[in-house]
Structure 1
Amino acid sequence: MALSETNDGRAVHLHRDRHPGADPVLLVHGFATTGALTWEATGWVEALAAGGRGALVPDLRGHGRSDKPHDPAAYSPDLLAADLLAMLDEEGLAAVDVIAYSMGSWVALALARLAPDRVRRLVVGGIGTVEQFGRWGVSAVQASVRGDVVMPEAESPIAPLVASLRRAPDVDREALAACVAGMATHPLPLGPTVPALLVAGDADPVAEDADVAAGILGAELVLLPRRNHVTALSARGFKQAALPFLGIPAAGSR
């Protein structure tokens, strides 16, 4: 369990799974899900292993088996990135390649900005230039998270933000509501950092201006045909773009 802190100095314990293999890739999940649900269930850990690489799969604070503060001040891209930095220190990893998705992409970008010497190459997915919690309304997203309203229909712009909520284990809805409020109050960490690749579905409203985000990041851009925010993550095309970018063979990626 990695040990970081909240703004008031309280310790935050971060759960992670380290999968066997050389030079582990750090995999950072998005909102209202877990590392295992995002990266193991979709074949990413398996694909990395087939390419001879290990994986380091944390649950971000507020999620899964990590600590879950209920204070919005405990959540920001920089704070969640500091958790990851503490975890890398505990794992004895001087520098890593990173793959991240959705809200996890903002955390990974914050990590690359805070400690560019610790991130060699960065793959981010499912983002554009807009912070989605603020865009669609913090109160509206929190109501969906808390179950105060019927879960949004698939066509709703809020639906991609809470798509994993029904399947994610160890859900603390108040912690997720605090995460929404905290993340929405901080500027997005967009800017050139390390060599980067941005992957997004061309039918993903969350990443509708992915081309603009890629330009700001100085990143390569890959758009996945007919994929939305949920289906892009498991797409073979995502792996076939991301793994070679990290110098990993992608043959046979499912």
Structure 2
Amino acid sequence: MTPESAGPPLYAEAHDGTLIAYRVSAASAPDDARPVLLVHGFASDAETTWIRTGWVRALNAAGRPVITVDLRGHGASDAPITADAYAPAVLGADLLAVLDSAGADTVDVVAYSLGNRVVSALAELAPERIASVVIGGAGPRELFAAWDLDEARAYIIEDRKPGNPLIAQVLGPALEAGADPSVLLAVIAGMSGSELAVPGGIRTLFVVGENDPVPAGAQDLAHEWGAGFVTVPGRDHISTLTSRHFKDAVLGFLDGGGADTA
């Protein structure tokens, strides 16, 4: 167990009673430093995405307190099994409950993959709570919108090979890791077609792996928004997370620098 993950999580209670697990790490951070909220993607958790990859350590070393959260249905959070429990607005409200519980008035946000859709919902709900956003591994196309839910269900429940190979590529590792099939299906149905949108007054940076097909169209979207854009050389959707290039780009952005590196 790494030092950042030691100890039990804290819990924020969502409006429907769901308990959302989070941790606060403030090692060496000044009392007035703005926290960084880290939001993971589908079929992952804060430990896997942000702690084991060194993100919490790097941000703390830069003097920033960090709030990590396990989205509902993931990690140590409660896991409802109905699709409406995973509507974007519901997950966005979960993040707001975490910020309130942690006493964080405003945060910078770094999100990855599907987590960006959740942050978009938070930004719609409470834009005044967000100072800046880093959109990692995401673009205008929402992955689940192109999936046939019946195909996904047949693969998860019956191990039937899907016509869309991406379904098996994404869900296979999650199932092997012991994810609950009912929760996976609920998240897919609830989040399918969710928007990627950040209000224009919020500083935004896109970061994508050079070999990652998931954020297709992200560079054009960044240009349209007037946002920064960084490509991480030689990395795919998973390996981008461990890149020092990614961390350095984010740290520079959080310090107020711009970024526009193709």
Question: TM bucket by the smaller chain?
Answer: 0.7 to 0.9
Q: Secondary structure at the match of 1:15?
A: strand
Aligned sequence identity (%): 41
2:210 alignment partner in structure 1: 202
Residue 105 of structure 1 corresponds to: 116
Query: Does 2:101 correspond to 1:95?
Result: no
2:21 partner amino acid:
H
2:166 equivalent to 1:157: yes
TM-score normalised according to structure 1 size: 0.86
Is residue 117–residue 194 contact of structure 2 (8 Å, CA) maintained in 1?
A: no
Check if 1:211 corresponds to 2:219. Answer: yes
Q: CA deviation at 1:53?
A: 1.4
Give the match for residue 177 of structure 1. Answer: 185
TM-superposition CA deviations, 1:48-101 (whole Å, max 9, x none): 111111211110011111111111011122211100101111111100011000
Quick check: 1:125–1:199 contact (8 Å CA) kept in 2?
yes
Q: CA offsets per residue over residues 145-172 of structure 1, 9 Å max, x none? A: x3532799xx943356347526757x32
1:74 and 2:85 are equivalent in the alignment: yes
Cα separation, 2, equivalents of 1:226 and 1:187? 28
Residue 218 of structure 1 deviates from its aligned partner by 3.0
Deviations 1:113-154 (A, max 9, x none): 22111000111111111110121333334445x3532799xx
Q: Which amino acid aligns with 1:161?
A: V
Q: Which runs of 5+ in 1 are unaligned?
A: 250-254
> What is the TM-score when the length of structure 2 is the normalising length?
0.83
Aligned to 1:51: 62
Q: Is the 8 A contact 1:160 1:229 kept in 2?
A: no
Residue 18 (1) aligns with residue 24 (2) = yes
Say if 1:44 and 1:38 are closer, same or farther in 2 by CA, change over 3 A. same
When the two structures are aligned, how many residues end up with a matched partner? 240
Change (3 A) 1:142 1:37: farther
The match for 1:252 is: none
Question: Which runs of 5 or more structure 2 residues have no equivalent in the other structure?
Answer: 1-10, 258-262
Q: Partner amino acid for 2:103?
A: G
C-alpha displacement at 1:45, in angstroms?
A: 0.6
Partner of 1:90, secondary structure, is: helix
| Distance across 2 between alignment mates of 1:141 and 1:205 | 20
1:48, 1:176 → 2: CA distance? 30
Matched residue, 1:190: 197
The change in CA–CA distance for 1:4 and 1:34 in structure 2 (over 3 A counts) is same
Helix, strand or coil at the partner of 2:174: coil
Distance (whole Å) between structure 2 residues aligned to residue 196 and residue 137 of structure 1: 32
CA RMSD of aligned residues (A): 2.4
For 1:148, the equivalent position in structure 2 comes to 158
Secondary structure of the 1:239 match is: helix
2:79 aligned with 1:32: no
Q: Which has the higher contact order (CA 8 A, sep 6+)?
A: 1
Residue 42 of structure 2 aligns to a residue in which SS? Answer: coil
Amino acid aligned to 1:228: D
